[in-house]
Structure 1
Amino acid sequence: MAAMYQVITPQKPAAILKGVGPKVAEKLSSIGIETVNDVLFHLPANYENLSVMNLADAENNDKVTVMGTVMTEPAVAYFRGGKNRLTVFMEIDGIYVKVTFFNQPYLKDKLIVGEEARLSGKYLKHKLEINGQRLIYEAGGGFRVTYPMGKVMHSKTFNKIVAEVFGGFSFNYDLPETVKAKYRLLSVREALRLIHFPKSPADIKEGRRTIKFYELFMFQLRLMEKRQKERVRNERYIIDYDIDELKAFIDTLPFGLTGDQKKCTNEICRDLKQNVSMHRLLQGDVGSGKTIVAGIAAYAVKTIGEQTAVMVPTEVLANQHYQSFTDTFEDRLTIAKLTGTTTRKEKMEIVSRLESGEIDLIVGTHALIEDDVLFNRLSLIITDEQHRFGVNQRKRLNDKAHRKNVLYMTATPIPRTLSITTFGDMDVSIIREMPKGRKPVETYWRRYDEVDEVMASIASEVRKGHSAYIVAPLIEESETLDLKNVQEIYHMFLDCFGEEQVELVHGRMKPAEKNEGMGRFERLEKPVLVSTTVIEVGINVPNATYMVIFNAERFGLSTLHQLRGRVGRSDMQSYCALISDPKTENAKQRIDIMTSTTDGFELSEQDLEMRGPGDYFGVRQSGLPEFKVADLAEDYRILEHARLSAIELSGEMREDA
């Protein structure tokens, strides 16, 4: 990302600037400023308008800069702990105002009765009082800028260093003239100058708008360059699968593909036929049928005698995929499973069969990337919930491939803005349609004193032979958080349904113990599963028609939606009860959103707005860029235009070549 901010080349160290000696250079380095470009893009965090305003135009609690006449001698009162308050009365724009400064007793000598003074502070209109922040001695208007300097230097000093850059260097990089004209943007130089040295609020706004566009435009160009480099054309990438055999297999499926499933299948199969490696993301809401699309791709690869690996983040998800593929393919594909709990003897046998080419499709966790796991001809890699894996983990599996065709799958509906930035170097296929016969999950909110009503509804479902998930946020009681814990909830359901009907599963159990508990629930031996969020992804029980989430306000929209997606996986009506006493506006908003829609993509957009892009995936390794000015949640329209401009420019560059 550093290259994106190099508008002055060749790159020069900040130490060559006037006023930046060895000691100052060391201070700047301590906050990440090494070069002249770093100086330019170390942008102000705050601005203080030094232009005098008329107090009559100010509203209550406004920050104001005013000029007035000192009417009384300043008085300083001292309090315990060395704190003090200076009070003085001034006439400002015909209004007699009380002005207070806290812990600035030295201002007493600066405020002379009968003389004028300029100051900034917070105006308490109803009290006719200003809580003063500081006296202003600079002449004229303009802005005082404050930089995030980590106490290594005064902002005024750094601002002078920035001025040295503008005075002594030429800018080599800018936005294309056609782009600037089309979107009425400034040059990068002028935009940065207005951000560092504004004379009006409009200057700051215009400068930041251009730099936002520049950041997003340059990032899109980088993604396209990366995409072109990674997609080297080579005839050996072509998977010339047997289309007749593939169609014959699809015809044997006990259900018809939805329109979206057909579209995504065609896009993936088209990729496989190309002389360039596939790099595609398959997005689909929970229960939308991504697995069968991935399975069809694996079958296509099998028709030429080559292999597919499916890597998933958890053993539970590995078990689900393994079972799903086994049920779908029966004896048409040789399928194996490799996880952390696979015994050494079983692993040795699987690795041997994998290396000989006997296994067509292997499903596994991180165990697949271990050095002793070798393939015969691995030609398709499918990674589920890929953002849960690190870049190096994904690369280790990719390096084992004979033909590098990668399909990423996610059940986390990703907002378009994040899809463009995080997965901008991929092709994207989306399944929005749900399989025929599925009914939207009825979602409702209940308070804790209404739990009996929920229990009665669950009992009714259990009598019909259906199952229910009960989710709690904690394993044990917490002294700091007043949350319903899983043990407490487990005993509540034991009292109601009895031990023969209630299963308990949580993340602190040993894998074997947890799998046994899940198994009893999946086999319908016990209809009620009390659990923590370990069931968020990876368990498929079509018989389950009820989801209850305790302390729902503690979960983000994405997690709530993933949990809700565990039910509604058949043609039976399903329900989701959110048990919560939301205390904050944010929590109430999440509950309202969850009860108003079951559309995961709509939820994802609202989740992005509420949480921000940095927290959306919950992990930084997802590859999200950190911009200086642009904000992915707020600036999605600018992102769209920047992306289109980058695509146009990229096309022109290829034509010129």
Structure 2
Amino acid sequence: MGCGLIMVRRIYMTKFEIYSKCPALYLPSKVEDYTYVIDNFSNLKACIGHEIIVYGLASKKGEHTSQRGVPYTSYHLTDSDDSASFVLFGDENSRVKEENQPMHIKGVIELVKGKYQINNASIIDDEKAGRIVPVYDGIKGKLIKAVANKSLQCNIGESQIKKGKDQIYLELECLFGESIESVLVELGFAGTMSVENLLNNVHNPKVVYEFYKSIEMLKRLSTALMAGAILKERKCVPTNPFQVTPKIDDKLLTKYIPFTLTGEQFYVASQIIERLCNGPTSLDGLLIGDVGTGKTVILAMAARQVLLSQTNSKVIFLAPNVSLCKQLSREICAMIPEVKSALVCAESNSYTNEARLIFGTTALLFKEFKDVELLIIDEQQQLSVDQRRKIKSIHYLEASATPIPRTLALTKYSNDNVFFLKHQHLPKDICTRVVYKEQGSDLMRSIHETLSYGCKVLIVCPKRDGEGNNNKMIDAESLASSLNLHFPGMVRVYHSALDDKECEIVLNEFKTHIPIMVSTSKIQVGLTIPDLRHCIVYGAERFGLTTLHQIRGRLARTQPQSGSNWGKFDLFLPNKPSESTLNRLNVLTQSCDGFYISEKDLELRGAGELLSGGKKQHGSTVSLIKNINVDFGRLAAAIEYLETLTQKINQPTCLHLNSSS
């Protein structure tokens, strides 16, 4: 089967299409166990303190109002000998149509003054009572959860299960050809664990344990499908043409580096240069290193190797904003003074054909370049997949302290192209804390304290101005005006509405004589501000983990004249946070490791689309089986296992003939 056909088959149905056309592949997220039903009230004593379902005749006692003003209705539930009382709120009452109506009521049994009560009561549909019922999630903006459950519960029968199995087999055939049955047996999907049985166990569960075991097996299958697709894609996608080039000697390579490299820095640079020079294929790599680990020097060494070993080749640095682009240009050009450089951004274009070292923002994407040997993308998390591959190059090298979820997920099965810097050459002592509205005066004292040391304060807001500010969240412009009343002439504001020249003026003032700057997240990448020791993020719940870590990376980038290299990072919450928000922000209070934070971000946001052509950089990973996650922790192992397995299965059998016969 040709690669072109494979790529066509990889276009999966959306979640809603699966729900509509092949619901057996729209998996439930959990089950509710309604098997234990009491219809003889003499057995209720043994159930005190437990949540069960009670069957009896319901009759209305009266209507009431709670102390908080919420209306509710009380009922009796009776059998021939005894009764239990319960209450219902809101729409549940409309389901009681008549006196002595037979009903199943779920709740916790309590005995109060010799009378049974059913607390936290709810009505259970008759068709669910006595069964284990699968529960399906809805689709945001397309499918209400209640509608999904009404449509799917009890309605996925044998024909739908077979249709789902056939879809999975089509996918498996696409990936493994005639080896499909052998692969399934080797992976454990046979007998009671066959694909058909697993689908039946999750949609028509008989035992709770079997449901969750089947979900885990289908998760394993989904991971195997992704691993198989990645393997198939590797064989189908051609690599860029590659030519072995000589390595320049270490003395020439490090000639203009302004400090002595650490052992880790030299090792990582050597790894990258080895791949650039000797392959075996062109490099499509990722350099992961936290702020202060020396990423810029490593990138400069890679560029220097290419430019000094080849006479006509070009190296391009792509950066997300003008300020970072100019900073990179100054630092890199100082380490590669032998070649002509150029800067291409919205306000400047010094490019000529003679330039071999080119720096630019996304303005580069509108130009044509020839002989590009290496494209380096700094702060790759700020750019889309299309932007990062628009310029054609032999080699690609991306860099980030906090790679986006999709990129981080890709590293889990392509370790030969991932390079890590883990040690900071300038250690930092950053104190990160969550600050609540009630602690506002403490925050102001902390600002005064920082300024008293002759250091600078950065305050980051989620919005640049008050336009469309319906939720009354303070913006950068308003906060800067307010702070100017307390610190007259000491505050500047920095955001995307300023043109490049205005931004440069504000940054230069902040780097020199202005002690306080109010900014949006525009400040987050790459910039070095001398003596910046204190950062406050206003409305921190509105920022992502990696963005917050990037902002924190602006702190303590220069060594103080004496003492530790300290910094304060305050996550200010003007409103009461949800438990999930607080758990997310506490990731930052617990760790300053950018890679760890990126891992947590991947867990929270999802990996997006992993296969080539995918553009979603976070979110759910496209899979044939819906509502189930690919297990990224096992993906690399699954790829390696399937590669070995398919080679073993497809190996021709050798017949050893007895020579004496």
Q: Calculate the TM-score normalised by the size of structure 1.
A: 0.77
State the partner residue of 2:475: 485
State the partner residue of 2:41: none
Residues 1:645 and 2:629 are matched in the alignment: no
Match of 2:429 among 440, 444, 459: 440
SS at match of 1:538: coil
State the partner residue of 2:287: 282
CA contact (8 A) 1:469 1:547 kept: yes
CA contact (8 A) 2:412 2:635 kept: no
Closer, same or farther: CA 122–514 of 1 in aligned 2, 3 Å: farther
State the partner residue of 1:32: 17
CA contact (8 A) 1:145 1:155 kept: no
| One-letter code aligned to 1:486 | A
CA–CA distance in structure 2, aligned partners of residues 238 and 184 of structure 1: 51
Residues 1:599 and 2:568 are matched in the alignment: no
Q: Deviations over 1:413-434 (max 9, x none)?
A: 567x972347745744343433
Residues 1:259 and 2:270 are matched in the alignment: no
CA–CA distance in structure 2, aligned partners of residues 29 and 599 of structure 1: 36
CA contact (8 A) 1:212 1:629 kept: no
How many pairs does the alignment contain? 587
CA contact (8 A) 2:283 2:417 kept: no
State the partner residue of 1:335: 341
State the partner residue of 1:458: 450
Closer, same or farther: CA 598–459 of 1 in aligned 2, 3 Å: same
Residues 1:511 and 2:495 are matched in the alignment: no
Residues 1:250 and 2:244 are matched in the alignment: no
CA–CA distance in structure 1, aligned partners of residues 355 and 326 of structure 2: 17
| One-letter code aligned to 1:458 | T
CA–CA distance in structure 1, aligned partners of residues 469 and 81 of structure 2: 56
Residues 1:317 and 2:324 are matched in the alignment: yes
CA–CA distance in structure 1, aligned partners of residues 544 and 638 of structure 2: 34
Q: Deviations over 1:573-611 (max 9, x none)?
A: 231241635622445445544344322233334445556
CA–CA distance in structure 1, aligned partners of residues 229 and 364 of structure 2: 31
Offset of residue 227 of structure 1: 3.3
Closer, same or farther: CA 205–139 of 1 in aligned 2, 3 Å: closer
State the partner residue of 2:224: 217
State the partner residue of 2:568: 576
CA–CA distance in structure 2, aligned partners of residues 184 and 410 of structure 1: 47
CA contact (8 A) 2:320 2:379 kept: yes
Q: How does 1:629-644 map to 2 (within 5 A)?
A: 629-631=627-629, 638-644=631-637
| One-letter code aligned to 2:95 | Q
CA–CA distance in structure 2, aligned partners of residues 649 and 322 of structure 1: 45
Q: How does 1:250-649 map to 2 (within 5 A)?
A: 250-272=254-276, 273-302=278-307, 303-305=309-311, 306-329=313-336, 331-342=337-348, 347=349, 350=351, 353-354=352-353, 358-370=354-366, 373-398=367-392, 401=393, 404-412=394-402, 419-421=408-410, 424=413, 427-444=416-433, 447-462=439-454, 466-477=455-466, 480-499=470-489, 501-522=490-511, 524-572=512-560, 573-578=565-570, 580-581=572-573, 583-584=576-577, 585-590=579-584, 592-609=586-603, 620-622=616-618, 625-627=621-623, 628-631=626-629, 638-649=631-642
State the partner residue of 2:54: 66
CA–CA distance in structure 2, aligned partners of residues 339 and 85 of structure 1: 69
Q: Judge which range, 601-610 or 199-208, deviates more.
A: 601-610
Q: Judge which range, 258-267 or 138-147, deviates more.
A: 138-147
Match of 2:33 among 49, 69, 72: 49
Closer, same or farther: CA 337–424 of 1 in aligned 2, 3 Å: farther
Offset of residue 448 of structure 1: 0.8
Closer, same or farther: CA 231–544 of 1 in aligned 2, 3 Å: farther
CA–CA distance in structure 2, aligned partners of residues 231 and 32 of structure 1: 32
Identical residues among aligned pairs (%): 21
Q: Deviations over 1:484-519 (max 9, x none)?
A: 4323432454345542x4332122222321222123
CA–CA distance in structure 2, aligned partners of residues 164 and 33 of structure 1: 15
CA–CA distance in structure 1, aligned partners of residues 589 and 87 of structure 2: 50
CA contact (8 A) 1:454 1:577 kept: no
| One-letter code aligned to 2:160 | V
Q: Deviations over 1:28-87 (max 9, x none)?
A: 999414997x3331223564434124666768794x4333x43x75568799xxx99683
SS at match of 2:324: helix
| One-letter code aligned to 1:316 | S
CA–CA distance in structure 1, aligned partners of residues 61 and 476 of structure 2: 61
CA contact (8 A) 1:422 1:622 kept: no
Q: Deviations over 1:264-316 (max 9, x none)?
A: 22222122121422111111112322121111111111121211112222222
Q: Which runs of 5+ in 1 are unaligned?
A: 14-27, 112-116, 633-637
Closer, same or farther: CA 93–109 of 1 in aligned 2, 3 Å: closer
CA–CA distance in structure 2, aligned partners of residues 360 and 185 of structure 1: 63
| One-letter code aligned to 1:178 | E
CA–CA distance in structure 1, aligned partners of residues 20 and 433 of structure 2: 56
Q: Which runs of 5+ in 2 are unaligned?
A: 39-43, 66-70, 173-179, 610-614, 652-661
Higher relative contact order (CA 8 A, sep 6+): 2
Q: Judge which range, 563-572 or 129-138, deviates more.
A: 129-138
CA contact (8 A) 1:313 1:389 kept: yes
CA–CA distance in structure 2, aligned partners of residues 591 and 377 of structure 1: 45
CA–CA distance in structure 1, aligned partners of residues 80 and 252 of structure 2: 87
Offset of residue 366 of structure 1: 1.6
Offset of residue 362 of structure 1: 1.0
SS at match of 1:470: strand
Offset of residue 210 of structure 1: 0.7
Offset of residue 535 of structure 1: 0.4
Closer, same or farther: CA 587–156 of 1 in aligned 2, 3 Å: closer
Q: Calculate the TM-score normalised by the size of structure 2.
A: 0.77
State the partner residue of 2:210: 203
State the partner residue of 2:97: 106
CA contact (8 A) 1:86 1:102 kept: no
CA contact (8 A) 1:318 1:364 kept: yes
SS at match of 1:283: strand
Q: How does 1:146-165 map to 2 (within 5 A)?
A: 148=138, 155=150, 159-160=154-155, 162-165=157-160
Closer, same or farther: CA 333–310 of 1 in aligned 2, 3 Å: same
| One-letter code aligned to 1:259 | G
Closer, same or farther: CA 317–97 of 1 in aligned 2, 3 Å: same
Offset of residue 158 of structure 1: 7.5
Closer, same or farther: CA 91–218 of 1 in aligned 2, 3 Å: same
State the partner residue of 2:656: none
